[in-house]
Amino acid sequence: MAKRIDVSGLTAYYGSHKAIDDISMTVEPRSVTAFIGPSGCGKSTFLRTLNRMHEVTPGGRVEGKVLLDDEDLYGAGVDPVSVRREVGMVFQRPNPFPTMSIFDNVAAGLRLNGNYRKSELNDIVEKSLRGANLWNEVKDRLNKPGSGLSGGQQQRLCIARAIAVEPDVLLMDEPCSALDPISTLAIEDLIGELKERFTIVIVTHNMQQAARVSDRTAFFNLAAVGQPGKLVEIDDTERIFSNPSVQATEDYISGRFG
C-alpha cells in the first residue's frame, strides 16, 4: 500500500521562529529517501511534518501542502490521528512502551484501530516481528517486557510496532544514532527489505548510511544559525555522492563543514 508523497511550499514554525522554509519535493513509493544535512537544518522537523507530529510540539505550526497520493494531509477536515495511522514513525531513541510486553507493544497500534480476534492478532504480531527480523530472538518471550531487550532489539521492536498497522509510509528519525555498529547493520539490512512494501523516509547524520541504504538523497542546509533550514537539492543517491549539482552539497559530503 506504499504511497507517493508530494510536498509543495512547506514552511514550519516553532512559535515565531521559522524552522524550515518553503520546501517542495516528491518521494517515490517503494523507495528509500534519506535526508542529510548539518545539525539544526530542520531535517527532523521536516520529517515530523510528514505525519503531523510537528504540531504536537508546543508552538509548532505548518504552512503548505503535503499530498499523500492525492490527499492533502493538512487539508480542511483531515484528522491528524488518521494521518499518523497511515504514516508510521520510528524515533531516534528506541521507545517501546515500558509497561507493555513485547507482544502488547507490537499489538498496540492494532488494538487502537479495531477489534481483532486473538488468532488474527497472533498472526499479525508474528508477521510484523518476522518483518522486523526480530521473531527468532523473541518468540520465546513474547510476554516479557519490551524494555528488557537490547537497544538494537528495542529499535527493531519499534519498527515491528510501526509496520504492524501496515502504514503507507514509514518515517525514521535517525533510527541508528543510539545503536552500536552491529545493531545498526541489522537495521540497515531491514530497511532494504522493508522498502519492498513501504515508502521509507530516513533522517540520518551518517552519510555512509545514507549512501548505503537510500535510493534518493535530499540535502538540507541553513544559511546561518537561527536562519530557517532549506532544501538544497534532492537527487538520486549515486549522483548526490558522486556528482552533486550544488557546491554546498559537495562541500558537506566531502566533509568540509557540518
Partner 1 sequence: MDISTKTHDAPPPPPQPRPAPAEQKRAARGATRPGDRIFLGLTRGSGILLLVIMAAIAVFLSYRASLAISKDNGNFLTTFEWVTAGLEPRFGIAVLAVGTVVSSIIAMAIAVPIAVAIALFLTHYAPRRLRGPIAYVIDLLAAVPSIVYGLWGALILVPHMNGLFGWLDDYLGWTGIFAWDEGAPRAMLTVGILLAIMILPIITNVSREVFRQVPQMHEEAALALGATRWEVVRMAVLPFGRSGVISASMLGLGRALGETMAVATVLSPDFDLHASLLNPGGGTFAQNIAAKFSEADEFGRDALIASGLVLFVITLLVNGAARLIIARRKEYSGANA
Partner 2 sequence: MSHAAIADKRPGSLRGARLPQWGPYAIAAGSVAAGLGISAGAGLHSSIQWALIAAVLYVLGTYGIAARVEGRRQAKDRVATSFVWVAFLLAVIPLASLVWATVKRGVKVLDGYFLTHSMGVVADSEPGGGIYHAILGSLEQVGLATLIGAPIGVLTAIYLVEYGRGRLAKAVTFFVDVMTGIPSIVAGLFILSIMLMLKMQPFGFAGSLALAILMMPVVVRSTEEMLKLVPNELREASLALGVPKWRTILKVVLPTSIGGITTGVMLAIARIAGETAPVLLLVFGNPFINSNPFEGAQASLPLYIYQQYSQSAGSTYAYDRAWAASLTLIAFVMILNLLARGIARWKAPKTGR
The binding site for partner 1 (CB under 8 A) comprises 51, 53, 56, 58, 81-86, 88-89, 91, 93, 95-100, 108-109, 112-113, 147, 158, 161-162, 165
Residue 196 as a binder of partner 2 (CB under 8 A): the answer is no
**CA 217 to chain CA centroid, nearest Å:** 14
Q: How far apart are CA 13 and CA 18, in angstroms?
A: 4
Q: Which residues share a beta bridge with 88? A: 170
Q: Of these partners, partner 1, partner 2, none, which one is at the site of residue 166 (CB under 5 to 8 Å by kind)? A: partner 2
Q: Of these partners, partner 2, partner 1, none, which one is at the site of residue 53 (CB under 5 to 8 Å by kind)? A: partner 1
Q: Of these partners, partner 1, partner 2, none, which one is at the site of residue 95 (CB under 5 to 8 Å by kind)? A: partner 1
Taking contact as CB under 8 A, which single stretch among the options 24-32, 43-51, 119-127, 137-145 is the one that binds partner 2? 119-127
Q: Nearest distance from residue 100's CB to partner 2, in Å? A: 19
Q: Of these partners, partner 2, partner 1, none, which one is at the site of residue 127 (CB under 5 to 8 Å by kind)? A: partner 2
- State the CB neighbour count (10 A cutoff) for residue 139: 12
Phi, psi of 15 (to 5 degrees): 60, -120
Under 8 Å between Cβ of 132 and 124: no
Q: Of these partners, partner 1, partner 2, none, which one is at the site of residue 181 (CB under 5 to 8 Å by kind)? A: none
Under 8 Å between Cβ of 7 and 26: yes
3-state SS of 7-56?
Answer: EEEEEEEECCEEEEEEEEEEECCCCEEEEECCCCCCHHHHHHHCCCCHHH
The nearer residue to partner 1, 155 or 214, going by C-beta atoms, is 155
Residue 56 as a binder of partner 2 (CB under 8 A): the answer is no
Residue 116 as a binder of partner 2 (CB under 8 A): the answer is yes
**Grid cell 504492524 — which residue?**
164
Residue 181 as a binder of partner 2 (CB under 8 A): the answer is no
Residue 62 as a binder of partner 2 (CB under 8 A): the answer is no
Q: How far apart are CA 7 and CA 214, in angstroms?
A: 19
Q: How far apart are CA 210 and CA 176, in angstroms?
A: 12
